[in-house]
Structure 1
């Protein structure tokens, strides 16, 4: 690998991580010494890359820095194709359409050989077995999460018992056969998980819930013992 390729790969790794990553982890992934890594970091910083951190503390690429278009590897093309097709098959209509549009935009700027690889990928998504609730409900749930608005649900639990719940939705989990809302429940005063196929009716309230979505999601991860995404 040339040094130019290595610098581009280092930028890609930093862009992948949301939190500071140690020099040791970076050097291990790149297969270089710590001394070489520190030189590469300094080179990128001198070229204008906004990399915060220092030896012993870790490094993070600050928001607002945009990389020029990079060539995708064959594995990256496969991941993009598979992920977009899964969303197009499993999500609500509006999100599925966005996935197809994103895939088309990426294809339009790729060289001919890479575009053919993207369009003819042999990785396919099978038919969905989901009974996950109606399309409009999923769209409303996504909107409430994005806007941090409360949701009022008429909800039926696994025993068939109905109740009205006011919740603060912070995430929507997509499984193969169902969709689950992660939310703070005002009735239970704790986090609860709500299957969208058990929602009898749904209304997006005008009120914005009092804590940020990011804070709720972080608290839920801690409660569930889930490590933060990097």
Structure 2
């Protein structure tokens, strides 16, 4: 049996509905939108918790609870409540992506260089200015590491979208299993793995670049402002 036969078939690489590019686009859509939803919710909450130092127990409890939820069972529950389609899948994936973004943001803001934060406050900066000019730039690499972790989890888990009749690369796995088409199953699993690797490399490069630039830049800015004030 040639496990690559599905990938080698030119008909599966057309722009037709159900072909590989189409399913790949669906998979990327679920990944990007769900991570974006989680970021819109998790980053502000993480900044608030990290800056004030309050609510850490809530984050820990929510993170543990979210990780304990069986993803497939959650999908089925959302389908029963909201019907099949993209909405229940996006809800499930956003809940999955929220804990790493929330915890990374809170940890990044809370772990910002205390000397830089104290210098900013000594200059009379408001809490909002301390966050935007000092804590956020220093926390950004760690925040993006949380986004990176969330993205990889969502890419792998987005295969469950097929069980909600919502498409994605998981469709190849489900359809291949139903028809015992092992090359199709193999293609779906391989494409998900390759997509995760590509996204991990891209996000890893962004995080590495920010780690090299964020701290020195922020520290210099605060140092210049302190010198000017003196």
More strand by share: 1
Greater RCO (CA < 8 Å, at least 6 residues apart): 2
Normalised to the residue count of structure 2, the TM-score between the two structures is: 0.24
- TM-score, normalization: structure 1? 0.24
